[in-house]
Amino acid sequence: MIFKHPLFNYSFGHAYVWDSIKVLVTYESDWKKAYQILSDMLEARTRQDFEKANREIQRWADQYLMKFHHVRPRIVIKIEDSGVLFSLRYLCETSTLLDTRQEISRAILEAFEADESIQFAYPTQRIVPTARPEEFSIQCVRST
């Protein structure tokens, strides 16, 4: 198993892992406002974790003579078929990963629910007829 599969030791170095939440909004939504809401919310919800993580990573880097890079939450924007996709990336403690994910998800739902200019998107398909409406004909066939 060790040689065939990735192995992650979350107890070595520091107690933080990167997590992500993907949020898809419609093209009709105010995506700039959505980005600002997500950015402010993510910063507020993860500030303490990032401060502690940066201290631990700095200590770890000093111990192993590695270059230290300050880490912070990040949002990546991507254009998708069904809307604008925001990928929220943040650090959290391994022991609180699910709680942190739930807290952030709940905050996103509440923030978007309170703002009518932002709507969640989901995969959709539109059927566009190629014929004009007057060219359509409906035939009823009666079977006996």
Interatomic CA distance for residues 116 and 111, integer angstroms: 10
Tens digit of pLDDT for each residue in 60-108? 777 767 776 778 899 999 999 889 999 999 988 888 999 999 999 999 9
- Kindly list the structural domains of the chain, giving each domain's residue range(s) and its CATH number in brackets, ordered by start: 16-122 (3.30.70.100)
Answer yes or no: pTM beyond 0.75: no
DSSP state of 104: H
Q: What's the one-letter identity of residue 16?
A: Y
DSSP string, 3-43: TTS----TTSS-SEEEEEEEEEE-TTS-HHHHHHHHHHHHH
pLDDT tops 70 at residue 43: yes
Helix (H, G, I), strand (E, B) or coil at 80: strand
Confidence of residue 3 (pLDDT cuts 50, 70, 90): confident
> In this structure, are residues 77 and 24 in contact, taking their beta carbons and an 8 Å threshold?
no
Two tokens at 123? 């995969």
Chain CA centroid to CA 101, Å:
10
Q: Chain-wide mean pLDDT for the chain?
A: 84
Bigger pLDDT: 24 vs 58: 24
